[in-house]
Amino acid sequence: MSRRKSEKPFGSQINAPWADESPSDIKAAAILVSIKEIHLPPQQPRRYFDPDALKELVNSIEQHGILHPLLVRPLVSGGYELVAGERRYRAASESGLAEVPVVIRELSNSEAVSLALIENLQREDLNPVEETEGILQLLSLHLETTVEEVISLLYRLNNESKGKVTRNVTGNETVEQVEKLFNSIGTMSWSSFVRNRLPLLKLPQDIREALQSGKIAYTKATVIARIKDEQFRNSLLSETIKNNLSLSQIKEKARRASAKFRQAIRP
């Protein structure tokens, strides 16, 4: 999935002391720590790692080591919590590294979660479902509310913009926060997110899993999900994955199946 990148994505959203540090300064600040001292946080924003891509990274680390340090924060109980660099951490573990380079920063819970989400949202290989969930979690963090309430808020904003409900039900400050965050993301507007991404959360489980694992594109997933006949939908999903059907081929097969179904139920 291609992604437009700005020089400092999300920079306006984070007021952190390391924001202006150069890559060379960050690398110079890195120290080696035992990989056994690093612990994953309770809730990781990233859930799926492509096995082939992870294997390539393992091979690279075995040959060249870790080129970019992990970001961690110290734990009161001892050791460190991983903030950013989970893919490198997992690859380092698989390659058998005893020590890894890290940059240690004192971070609050909200700063740590925000940085973890941002790092993942900047990755080009993040699938659409993970990206959607990451943006919702980031909105939840900045608006200090639940993900479920964020989803309701976005649908309410969408209805207000279309005149379906009374305007100004949502506070101006909240609207500004939502718009500011999506502007900093730079890949889509909040209205595009409501229209194209929120529906992904309602996909049938098998289609959602195929999308999360990178087996199909989200445009194909949304077309297949519209098919009411579960048996045919499952069959088309399998065929799409196996033969890498194009979007136009999927639409044509869905159209023919729909026409056949309508003809069968005619009296």
Choose among 134, 147, 223: nearest CA to 185. Answer: 134
Q: Are residues 28 and 103 in the same domain?
A: yes
User: Of 122-131, 144-153, 211-220, where does the model show the most confidence?
Assistant: 144-153
77-106 per-position pLDDT tens digit: 999 999 988 889 999 999 999 999 999 999
| DSSP bridge partners of 102 | 31, 70
Assigned domain for 149 exists: yes
219-264 per-position pLDDT tens digit: 899 899 988 888 999 999 999 999 999 999 999 998 888 777 666 6
Assigned domain for 4 exists: no
154-204 per-position pLDDT tens digit: 999 888 887 766 655 556 788 888 988 888 777 788 999 999 899 989 999
Burial class (CB in 10 A: 0-12, 13-18, 19+), 166: exposed
What domain count does the chain have?
A: 3
Backbone angles phi, psi at 89, to 5 degrees: -60, -45
Assigned domain for 6 exists: no
Residue where a domain stops, chosen among 182, 198, 214:
198
Instruction: CATH number of the domain at 68, please.
Output: 3.90.1530.30
Q: Which amino acid is at 57?
A: L
State the Cα torsion 53-57-60-64 to the nearest 10°: 160
Residue where a domain stops, chosen among 198, 219, 236:
198
Q: Are residues 138 and 92 in the same domain?
A: no
Q: Are residues 133 and 168 in the same domain?
A: yes
Q: Are residues 53 and 87 in the same domain?
A: yes
Assigned domain for 176 exists: yes
Domain that holds residue 101: 21-107
Prediction pTM value: 0.69
Question: pLDDT band at residue 6, thresholds of 50, 70 and 90?
Answer: very low
Whether residue 39 is predicted with pLDDT greater than 60 in this model: the reply is: yes
Assigned domain for 13 exists: no
| DSSP bridge partners of 99 | 34
Assigned domain for 118 exists: no
Q: Are residues 27 and 92 in the same domain?
A: yes
Q: Are residues 226 and 189 in the same domain?
A: no
